[in-house]
Amino acid sequence: MEAHFKELIQKLEEVKDSLQKQIQGVDEKMCGMQSQINVFVNRIEKVEADYKLINKEVELFKTRIDGLQSYNRANNVILNNMMECNNLNTQELEIKVLNFLKDIIKVDVSLNDINFIRRIGRNSLEKKPILIKFVSFRKKIEVLRLAKNLKGSSVSLSENYSNEIRQSRRLLLPFLYKARSIQCKAFLRQDKLIINDKRFYIEQLQQLEQEDKLSTLTSGASGTSEVGESDAEVRASQKSNRVLRQRTGQGRIDGKNKCDPILKWLDFRAAFDCIDRRVLMYKLLNYGVSSKFVKVIRKLYEKTRASIWTKESLSMSFETNMGVKALFSSAGEFKASGRALCVAKS
């Protein structure tokens, strides 16, 4: 029995030694693999560093190429919708374009002021655009300034922008029209929109527009149970919110104190008398204001009345349901200027 037990212990020892050897071999292999992994990691890090460096160089070369292209196009203009020019040779085309510039645009120009004239675009076009490259940038600006003489005709003059800039300008047009609709000074300058001397790129405008849509959706999806309003009141409030944005979007701008027309399209000078109070309650809830505090504010604005104070007298009071309360330190300046002062009463 004892001999059998000793034999069993001996076999277990042999198994233990064998396992230890195997574990040691695995550890050695792991160490070898770890060293190889470290080599690959170092190589990958080097490749990433080289990739970043190459990207910077590519961006630098791209900027330089764009600059060279802009410089190459600086003296160019494109004449669009010119009649009966597709079948003319180079000399005939130069004479026709030169006569057009002199007789229609009324610019003093000669062939010495022009580097070359050629047709561009696809051959399938009936009226291929004509590229005119002037010798001097000053002469090109003079021609563009006199392009107003083409008003009312189908022929037009334009800058020779690259395809990327043309695409950006096409996307900027809706924002340009929107800015001009609220009487803002707005115009395009290459791939930028200038509004009231502020520069905006298309990416900035699209992001601001998306944020405005998101805020509209969140205001429409806010809960109504906390303020105790019906679905009809919710729809009326959302409609009032849209009317508010349309009303304030027109922005009374006097040229001295201009609001930012892109960020929110809001004229804060009309805020006190046109804010819908139901919309105000929704906004407070959206910003995390306690429902109890919102109820207190609602109670504060229940059955409010106001009077108009002019130079002569104080009018009869009337009930109000729009606007917010405002405190004034003195009414003397309002009376002195002849403007009416609205006095709110609870």
List the chain domain ranges. Answer: 1-73, 74-160, 161-214, 277-319
Whether 266 and 251 have beta carbons less than 8 Å apart is answered as yes
Confidence of residue 58 (pLDDT cuts 50, 70, 90): very high
Alpha-carbon gap, residue 260 to 198, rounded angstroms: 9
Q: Which of 11-15, 214-218, 266-270, 319-323 has the highest mean pLDDT?
A: 11-15
* Structural tokens at position 331: 């009414």
Dihedral through CA 137, CA 139, CA 144, CA 150, nearest 10? -150
More confident residue, 175 or 242: 175
Q: Are 128 and 120 in contact (CB under 8 A)?
A: yes
* Per-residue confidence (pLDDT) for residue 244, from 0 to 100: 38
Q: What is the pLDDT of residues 231-241, one digit of tens each?
A: 444 454 444 44
Q: Would you tell me which CATH number, out of the four given (3.40.50.300, 3.40.50.720, 3.40.710.10, 3.30.70.1820), belongs to the domain 74-160?
A: 3.30.70.1820
Of 268, 271, 317, 324, whose CA–CA distance to 298 is shortest?
Answer: 324
- pLDDT interval class at 311 (50, 70, 90): low
In angstroms, rounded to a whole number, what is the distance separating the alpha carbons of residues 341 and 325? 13
CB contact at 8 A, 100 and 157: no
* pLDDT score at 135: 92
Task: Give the residue from 49, 70, 43 showing the smallest Cα distance to 57.
Answer: 49
Q: Which two tokens stand for residue 307?
A: 């009077």
Mean pLDDT of the chain: 75
Residue 59 structure tokens: 């961006």
Q: Which of 30-34, 65-69, 248-252 has the lowest mean pLDDT?
A: 248-252
- What's the pLDDT tens digit per position in 244-253? 344 434 344 3
Helices (H) and strands (E) in the chain, counts: 10, 10
- Looking at per-residue pLDDT, the higher value among 210 and 60 belongs to 60
Q: Work out the percent of the chain whose per-residue pLDDT is above 90.
A: 12
Dihedral (CA of 31, 37, 41, 43) sign? positive
Average pLDDT over residues 313-338: 60
**Does residue 134 carry a pLDDT above 90?**
yes
**Which residues lie below 8 Å from residue 205, measured CB to CB, with a gap of 6+?**
172, 175, 193, 262
pLDDT, residue 309, reads 67
What's the whole-number mean pLDDT along residues 117-128?
A: 82
